[in-house]
C-alpha cells in the first residue's frame, strides 16, 4: 500500500489490456519517474526521445522503416507495426540515443531498471525499455530484435 505521497509501481509486468491510451500508462510513468530520480541521485540524467506514440505515428515510423530497409520483415527488426508495438500502448520508452553519453545513460537503466520493473527488451536496441517484470525482479532474457520477439510470441 502506498503512502499518501507515494506512487504505485505495480506488482507485476505491465501488459497491454483494455482501451488504448493517449499517453504513457500510469504505472509505466511512475516507474520511469522513479528510475529517473534514482539515476539523478547517482549523477545520471535520464531522458527519453520517445515513449507513447499514437497508432498513426507508429504507422508512419513503420512505413518509413519499410522504405529504408526495403521490406516489411527487415523493417520489423527495428520498428514494429502499430498494432504490435508497445509504444501505442504507452508501455515503451526509448531512452535518448544520439550520443555516447546517451548510451552510458541507457546502460545505467539497463543495469538498474529491474528495480522499477523496466527492462531493455532487444539486443539491437540499447535504448528501448518496457515494463517486462515486477519491480525488483530480474528482467527476462533479451530478444535478438523486435522481429524475433514477434515470432516468439506467435510460437514460431
7 is written with which cell numbers? 506512487
How far is residue 145 from each of residues 34, 80, 129, measured CA to CA in Å?
27, 10, 13
pLDDT, tens only, 106-150: 999 999 999 999 999 999 999 999 999 999 999 999 999 999 988
By the 8 A CB rule, do 96 and 49 touch? yes
pLDDT tens per residue across span 24-42: 999 999 999 999 999 999 9
Amino acid at each position: 500500500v502506498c503512502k499518501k505521497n507515494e506512487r504505485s509501481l505495480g506488482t507485476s509486468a505491465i501488459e497491454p489490456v483494455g482501451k488504448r491510451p493517449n499517453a504513457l500508462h500510469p504505472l509505466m510513468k511512475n516507474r520511469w519517474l522513479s528510475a529517473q530520480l534514482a539515476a539523478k541521485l547517482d549523477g545520471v540524467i535520464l531522458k527519453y526521445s520517445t515513449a507513447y506514440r499514437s497508432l498513426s505515428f507508429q504507422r508512419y515510423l513503420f512505413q518509413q522503416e519499410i522504405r529504408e530497409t526495403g521490406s516489411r520483415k527487415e523493417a520489423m527488426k527495428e520498428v514494429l507495426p502499430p498494432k504490435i508495438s508497445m509504444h501505442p500502448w504507452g508501455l515503451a520508452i526509448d531512452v535518448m540515443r544520439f550520443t555516447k553519453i546517451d548510451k552510458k545513460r541507457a546502460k545505467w537503466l539497463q543495469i538498474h531498471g529491474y528495480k522499477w520493473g523496466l527492462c531493455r527488451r532487444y539486443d539491437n536496441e540499447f535504448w528501448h525499455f518496457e515494463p517486462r517484470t515486477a519491480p525488483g525482479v530480474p528482467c527476462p532474457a533479451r530478444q535478438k530484435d523486435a522481429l524475433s520477439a514477434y515470432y516468439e510470441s506467435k510460437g514460431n
